[in-house]
Amino acid sequence: MPTPSATVPATPIIAVEHLYKSVTDSGGTLDILQDIHFTLAARETLAIVGASGSGKSTLLSLIAGLDMPTRGTVRLAGEDLFALDEDARAALRARRVGFVFQSFQLLPSLTALENVMLPLELAGLRDARGRATDMLGRVGLAGRLSHYPKLLSGGEQQRVALARAFVVQPAVLLADEPTGSLDHATGAAVMDLMFALNREQGTTLVLVTHDPAIAARCGRRITIEAGRIAAMA
């Protein structure tokens, strides 16, 4: 009888491998992150929680390849981010990663439609206007296409940011306190929309939050204390 072939485990979409981050100044060396190690499969949702200053946002920046570790590495879809030069990391982010920030990070000189078109145009994708228009309709802003960010409410600006993040159908979405600048009701509506879009597109979500209710909506949770993983669930 032939021997069944072994099942080959799928490559994690994110692999954080023994990550350390320290900074040194005239006062000495500060260890921000120490030996952070975990993997995420495609479509998983992860909340990173912890007190202010625990290293959550630094970890998110390292996962994105926006900052460099002191030791260790991050693999995104099997590629070692820190074996790439800056241009190659940026190109990989453009293909694979979407971002949502607490401060929205919309370009004030561009309309809502132009803000959402931008990542499509940078990636050289076709029909940027049509795809951006459809996505803004999906987040409830079909009537705000020509509005500049200053004319939009905080909740509307974050919806534009969600549309911009999801319009390229990223493999990974990184969100840093996405409701931190919003009132409770608006924040809850934005989170409902984020999780709905995430399910529809099958994105892997990594979310930094201080809100236990938001963290509880994720399939996995990591608690960071003083730069170390204190708990994983």
Q: Please give the structure tokens belonging to residue 223.
A: 């608690």
Q: Give the whole-angstrom CA distance, residue 180 versus residue 93.
A: 24
pLDDT digits (tens, 9 = 90+) for 134-192: 999 999 999 999 999 999 999 999 999 999 999 999 999 999 998 888 889 999 999 99
pLDDT digits (tens, 9 = 90+) for 68-105: 999 999 999 999 999 999 999 998 988 899 999 888 88
Checking if the pLDDT of 210 tops 90, the result is no
Q: Are strands 14-25 and 71-76 parallel, antiparallel or unpaired?
A: antiparallel
Which percentage of the chain shows pLDDT scores above 70?
A: 96
Q: Which residues of 47-68 are buried (b: 16+ CB within 10 A; e: fewer)?
A: bbbbeeebbbbbbbbbbbbbee
In the chain, the N- to C-terminal Cα span, in Å, equals: 42
Contact 171, 13 (CB under 8 A): yes
Kindly report the pTM of this predicted structure: 0.87
Which residues, 6+ apart, have CB-to-CB distance to 180 below 8 Å? 102, 210
CA 63 to chain CA centroid, Å, is 9
Residue 36, sorted as left (phi over 0), alpha (psi -120 to 50) or beta, turns out to be beta
Which secondary-structure segment (H or E) carries 99? strand 97-101
Look up residue 84 and give its amino acid. L
C-alpha angle with apex 172: 167 to 178, nearest 5 degrees? 75
Mean pLDDT of 191-196: 92
- What are the residue ranges of helices labelled H in 7-153? 56-63, 86-96, 112-122, 128-138
Superfamily of domain 42-66+95-232: P-loop containing nucleotide triphosphate hydrolases (3.40.50.300)
